[in-house]
Amino acid sequence: MKNCCGKTLFLLFLFQGKPCSYPVIKHGRLYYSYRGYFPARVHQQFVYSCDHHFVPPSQRSWDHLTCTAEGWSPEEPCLRQCIFNYLENGHTPHREEKYLQGETVRVRCYEGYSLQNDQNTMTCTESGWSPPPRCIRVKTCSKSNIRIENGFLSESTFTYPLNKQTEYKCKPGYVTADGKTSGLITCLKNGWSAQPVCIKSCDRPVFEKARVKSDGTWFRLNDRLDYECVDGYENRDGRTTGSIVCGQDGWSDKAACYERECSIPEMDPYLNAYPRKETYKVGDVLKFSCSQGRIMVGADSVQCYHFGWSPKLPTCKVKKVKSCALPPELPNGKRKEIHKEEYAHNEVVEYACNPKFLMKGSHKIQCVDGEWTALPVCIEEERTCGNIPDLDHGDVKPSVPPYHHGDSVEFSCREAFTMIGPRFITCISGEWTQPPQCIATDQLRKCKGSILFPPEGRPAHKIEYDHNTNRSYQCRGKSERKHSICINGEWDPKVDCKEAKIQLCPPPPQVPNACDMTTTVNYQDGEKISILCKENYLIQDAEEIVCKGGRWQSIPRCIEKIGCSQPPQLDHGTINSSSSAEERREIHEQRLYAHGTKLSYTCEEGFEISENNVIICHMGKWSSPPQCVGLPCGLPPYIQNGVISHKKDSYQYGEEVTYDCDEGFGTDGPASIRCLGGEWSRPQDCISTNCVNLPTFEDAVLTDREKDFYRSGEKVAFKCLSYYQLDGSNTIQCIKSKWIGRPACRDSQGKCGPPPPIDNGYITSLLKSVYPTGSIVEYRCQAYYELRGNRNVVCRNGEWSQLPKCLEACTVSEETMRKHHIQLRWKHDKKIYSKTEDTIEFMCRYGYRELTPKHTFRATCREGKVVYPRCG
């Protein structure tokens, strides 16, 4: 029989699962002893009830504890029930509300008050409300706690509550740190957010014949402002640049420049200069000749510029001058002249650059006493021309873009139209030259005759000539004949016997900090020369100088390139970088990017770049950065038993919509959702707020007849059975489809059931089913947990006294430290576990910098959790 019985028990275990031992219900007890039924078989049920302030998950006064293959169900038979019916120094709810363990409620404190630790929500925990329903007075800030030198608080209020902002103003002549006349400060928990500062300032001065090297509108005390004089002017010190300093009494000097003059230069004794004057103004030209049959070597004229005379003055030689060998080859260019073996003194050679290349410097070089003057430079022109301009009544011969510098395209006019102007247009530095016109042939204007034409039997002014007519004429006293063509009503060239006075400009100047362009060649009116600055310099104003009226005009400046400091930060965006960590660290330490540096941005997921994502450093300033704009959202998601309050086709980033639930339905959380980067936050369902299935209680009975359903907020009263006594509320309430509460009926004998278990702890003595009043049990914690509270718990009037807690230790995670680029500060510190309130010190790994505030690197273990700092 014994063997047979053992076999039967094995089969029962195999098919029914592992039996359940006698349950220890934290904050509750089995309704009857049931001692003879254990171990219990799977699916077997037992009635249990919870202690005062605790209810089963069903929120009935009692429920069933079921043995399953995984153990007892529910795992937590008794949950804390918290009542919210009063808020000290805050807005109390209109009716009593009950919440189950884990549920949270938002509260509103009176102005100047807050829950503990500045919280605005309470959570129902095993020990009750956390934090307690008590609003405590928060710190205020006083006007007497702040003193603003050279400024004052503009409001009359003396005390300010937490988070209150107030405005302060600066006295005339003073500004805030960001250059404004007023600023804002905020009352924070530790006092005012910042000490207001009003600093001495100077407004932007008025410049006379000078330009400033800064675009600021105000300047701090001791700020230095650099300026430079316009062409032909200098300051009192005889310089073209100067500085003024902002002081307590304003600017240190007047930023004024005065007309500059060139004095008579030192010359070769055999060199004659004219016109002779005591001083020469900027723009004056001085011409030279040699006396006593000597030969001039160098430029025959110079011009007075803001930087002095240029080019160098010539000399007079008594001996024969030398000729020159073959002129040098020009990279990316070629000579226009026929090659010769020898070139005489003063002979000129002209160059042209290859297609796609732009010439910088003089396109002519000259043989000067056996030496050639400086070659020009052909640089690649990156700018291309856009679409070919349209020609009314004309067509362009087929061509293939892109169009580079020097490329030409040809036009033709349609039948019955005549072309006026050049047939070809050329791409020059990204711009097309002027296109021709197609004029209807029968609308071409005629040209009037001239008295200079040979007589034809009629008065000259009455004779008209058709378009494209070629006429020749001879001026009095001249043997050669001149020719002119009628072009749509105008003679080209103009019919005239006046001698045009050809004005020549001196050889072009050598601009300071520009590449060598020394030449002795004179230029005719209208000719231009393009200037090229040295490598670390940037051209300012015009790129070309122009020969006009015998003088060079539009003289540019070559200014030194200035780097930029750190680029602007972008909300929801980061700067792309292909450089190594070492290079990034060097740049960060130097805090300077070279002129011309380009940086690009990338937006976070859910955001898109608003415009070109590249910024460029130009003379110490970054171009305007783009913006990372949150992606819009489409229609909000549909929910049952609810509708959107205001419906649209599209919603911008950050926009909210609110759901309205049907009558008898409500949301179990926020009723609004937000558009976040192209996606909606998750909506709450509209659930029924009515309650059905009124719970039953073993120790209490209903005082009225039961209904089919109860509306949210409705209360139901019970009365205790004869052998139980009331110890608190005798009602339960319908809150959002859930019954909250249970009748507080307790055993009148005052005995306690088994002491409740605690997380991560145990009771040192054997458990009993019943404990008389005054019984004491002892609790201890498992390894690496710390006991908080009284380890001895006492049974009084049917309830156990406050239970202790076992606080979890903190475990330092190697993986998290790697992700955050941190390590323990002290190498000898090898602790894996730390108790609550222990301090753990961190530091950045080599090559990384702190991303979180300094105090975060000294973290405190709080109930098993530690907040790690970050480095990057």
Q: Is the peptide bond before 402 cis (omega within 30 degrees of 0)?
A: yes
How many domains in the chain?
A: 10
- Compute the distance between CA of residue 465 and CA of residue 491 in angstroms, rounded to an integer: 10
Supply the pLDDT for residue 424: 94
Closest CA to 424 of 435, 414, 415: 435
Partners of residue 424 on adjacent β-strands: 410
- Whether residue 676 contacts residue 653, with contact meaning beta carbons closer than 8 Å, is answered with yes
CATH code for the domain of 664: 2.10.70.10
Supply the pLDDT for residue 353: 92
Closest CA to 170 of 184, 189, 158, 159: 184
Q: What's the one-letter identity of residue 648?
A: K
pLDDT mean across residues, the chain: 83
Closest CA to 315 of 288, 341, 282: 288
Question: What is the pTM (predicted TM-score) of this model?
Answer: 0.48
Is the residue at 213 inside a domain? yes
Closest CA to 787 of 812, 758, 764: 758
Please, which residues have CB within 8 angstroms of residue 382's CB and are 6 or more apart in sequence? Answer: none
Which pLDDT band holds residue 15 (cuts at 50, 70, 90)?
very low
User: Tell me: the pLDDT tens digits for 780-836?
Assistant: 888 777 888 899 999 887 778 888 988 887 878 888 888 889 888 876 555 667 777
Phi and psi angles of residue 145, each rounded to the nearest 5 degrees, phi first: -85, 0
Q: Do 162 and 106 share a structural domain?
A: no
Q: Do 825 and 840 share a structural domain?
A: yes
Which pLDDT band holds residue 236 (cuts at 50, 70, 90)?
low
Supply the pLDDT for residue 490: 92
Segment holding 5, helix H or strand E: helix 2-16
- Compute the distance between CA of residue 444 and CA of residue 46 in angstroms, rounded to an integer: 115
Rounded to the nearest 10°, the torsion over CA 621, 623, 624, 626 is -130
Mean pLDDT (whole number) for 505-533? 90
Which pLDDT band holds residue 477 (cuts at 50, 70, 90)?
confident
Is the residue at 425 inside a domain? yes
DSSP letter string over 447-515?
Answer: EEP-TTSPP-SS-GGG-EE-TT-EEEEE-TT--SEEEEEEETTEEES----SPP---EEPSPP--TTBP
Q: Do 796 and 826 share a structural domain?
A: no
Instruction: Out of 152-166, 639-653, 702-716, give the one with best mean pLDDT.
Output: 702-716
Q: Do 189 and 129 share a structural domain?
A: no
Taking the CA of residue 476 as centre, how many other CA atoms within 13 Å lie in the half-sphere pointing to its CB? 3
Q: Do 17 and 71 share a structural domain?
A: yes
Q: CA angle 393-396-402, nearest 5°? A: 140
On the question of pLDDT at 234 being above 70, the answer is yes
Instruction: Out of 84-88, 249-253, 747-751, give the one with best mean pLDDT.
Output: 84-88
Supply the pLDDT for residue 485: 94
Instruction: Out of 23-27, 263-267, 504-508, give the one with best mean pLDDT.
Output: 504-508
User: Tell me: the pLDDT tens digits for 316-364?
Assistant: 988 788 999 999 999 999 988 777 888 999 899 999 999 899 999 999 9
Is the residue at 85 inside a domain? yes
Supply the pLDDT for residue 5: 39
Residue whose tokens read 């020749």: 472
Phi and psi angles of residue 443, each rounded to the nearest 5 degrees, phi first: -110, 5
Is the residue at 357 inside a domain? no
Q: Do 465 and 403 share a structural domain?
A: no
Count of beta carbons in the 10 Å neighbourhood of residue 340: 13
Better-scored residue on pLDDT, 663 or 168: 168
**Paired tokens of 281:** 């103004």
Supply the pLDDT for residue 748: 60
User: Tell me: the pLDDT tens digits for 390-434?
Assistant: 899 999 998 888 999 989 999 999 999 999 999 999 998 889 999
Supply the pLDDT for residue 237: 67
Q: Do 849 and 819 share a structural domain?
A: yes
Is the residue at 354 inside a domain? no
CA dihedral (850, 854, 858, 864) positive or negative: negative
CA distances from residue 659 to 5, 243, 255, 642, 735 in whole angstroms, order as listed: 65, 65, 66, 6, 20
- Whether residue 558 contacts residue 619, with contact meaning beta carbons closer than 8 Å, is answered with no
Mean pLDDT (whole number) for 587-602? 76
Which pLDDT band holds residue 2 (cuts at 50, 70, 90)?
very low
- Compute the distance between CA of residue 57 and CA of residue 55 in angstroms, rounded to an integer: 7
Identify how many contiguous H helices and E strands the chain contains and give both numbers: 3, 88
User: Tell me: the pLDDT tens digits for 41-60?
Assistant: 888 888 888 888 899 998 88
Closest CA to 724 of 25, 26, 31: 31
On the question of pLDDT at 506 being above 90, the answer is yes
Is the residue at 363 inside a domain? no
- Listed residues 650, 671, 688: the one ending a domain: 688
Closest CA to 312 of 296, 328, 325: 296
On the question of pLDDT at 584 being above 70, the answer is no
Query: Please, what is the end-to-end C-alpha distance for the chain in angstroms?
Result: 75
Closest CA to 504 of 367, 301, 315: 301
- Compute the distance between CA of residue 379 and CA of residue 483 in angstroms, rounded to an integer: 40
Q: Do 439 and 464 share a structural domain?
A: no
- Compute the distance between CA of residue 854 and CA of residue 868 in angstroms, rounded to an integer: 12
CA distances from residue 590 to 583, 792, 813, 849 in whole angstroms, order as listed: 11, 64, 35, 15
Segment holding 9, helix H or strand E: helix 2-16
Segment holding 581, helix H or strand E: helix 581-590
Segment holding 403, helix H or strand E: none
- Compute the distance between CA of residue 205 and CA of residue 243 in angstroms, rounded to an integer: 12
Supply the pLDDT for residue 4: 42
- Compute the distance between CA of residue 793 and CA of residue 805 in angstroms, rounded to an integer: 12
Supply the pLDDT for residue 439: 93
Is the residue at 298 inside a domain? no
- Compute the distance between CA of residue 763 and CA of residue 787 in angstroms, rounded to an integer: 13
Closest CA to 120 of 111, 107, 129: 107
On the question of pLDDT at 9 being above 50, the answer is no
- Listed residues 59, 77, 95: the one ending a domain: 77
- Compute the distance between CA of residue 145 and CA of residue 139 in angstroms, rounded to an integer: 13
Q: What's the one-letter identity of residue 532?
A: L
Which pLDDT band holds residue 653 (cuts at 50, 70, 90)?
confident
Supply the pLDDT for residue 254: 76
Is the residue at 513 inside a domain? no
CA distances from residue 138 to 88, 440, 760 in whole angstroms, order as listed: 14, 89, 36
User: Tell me: the pLDDT tens digits for 259-304?
Assistant: 778 888 888 888 999 998 888 888 899 999 998 888 889 999 999 9
- Compute the distance between CA of residue 454 and CA of residue 347 in angstroms, rounded to an integer: 41
- Listed residues 237, 259, 281: the one ending a domain: 259
Better-scored residue on pLDDT, 161 or 560: 560
* Structural domain for 664, as ranges: 642-688
- Compute the distance between CA of residue 145 and CA of residue 398 in angstroms, rounded to an integer: 81
Among the residue ranges 148-152, 591-595, 646-650, 748-752, the one predicted with the least confidence is 748-752
Instruction: Out of 512-516, 651-655, 738-742, give the one with best mean pLDDT.
Output: 512-516
Cα–chain center distance at 700: 65
Supply the pLDDT for residue 113: 77
Q: In what order do the strands lie in the sheet with 481-487?
A: 470-474, 481-487, 490-492
Q: What's the one-letter identity of residue 212?
A: V
Supply the pLDDT for residue 427: 92
Local structure of residue 361 (DSSP, 8 states): B
Beta strands, E only, 785-851: 785-788, 792-796, 799-800, 805-808, 810-811, 822-824, 833-834, 839-844
Closest CA to 556 of 839, 808, 360: 360
User: Tell me: the pLDDT tens digits for 187-202?
Assistant: 887 778 878 888 888 8
- Compute the distance between CA of residue 670 and CA of residue 681 in angstroms, rounded to an integer: 11
Phi and psi angles of residue 181, each rounded to the nearest 5 degrees, phi first: -85, -15
- Compute the distance between CA of residue 830 and CA of residue 814 in angstroms, rounded to an integer: 11
Please, which residues have CB within 8 angstroms of residue 522's CB and are 6 or more apart in sequence? Answer: 300, 301, 504, 505, 506, 507
Q: Do 192 and 146 share a structural domain?
A: yes
Supply the pLDDT for residue 46: 86
Supply the pLDDT for residue 582: 52
Mean pLDDT (whole number) for 571-579? 75
Segment holding 825, helix H or strand E: none
Partners of residue 564 on adjacent β-strands: 593
- Whether residue 377 contacts residue 532, with contact meaning beta carbons closer than 8 Å, is answered with yes
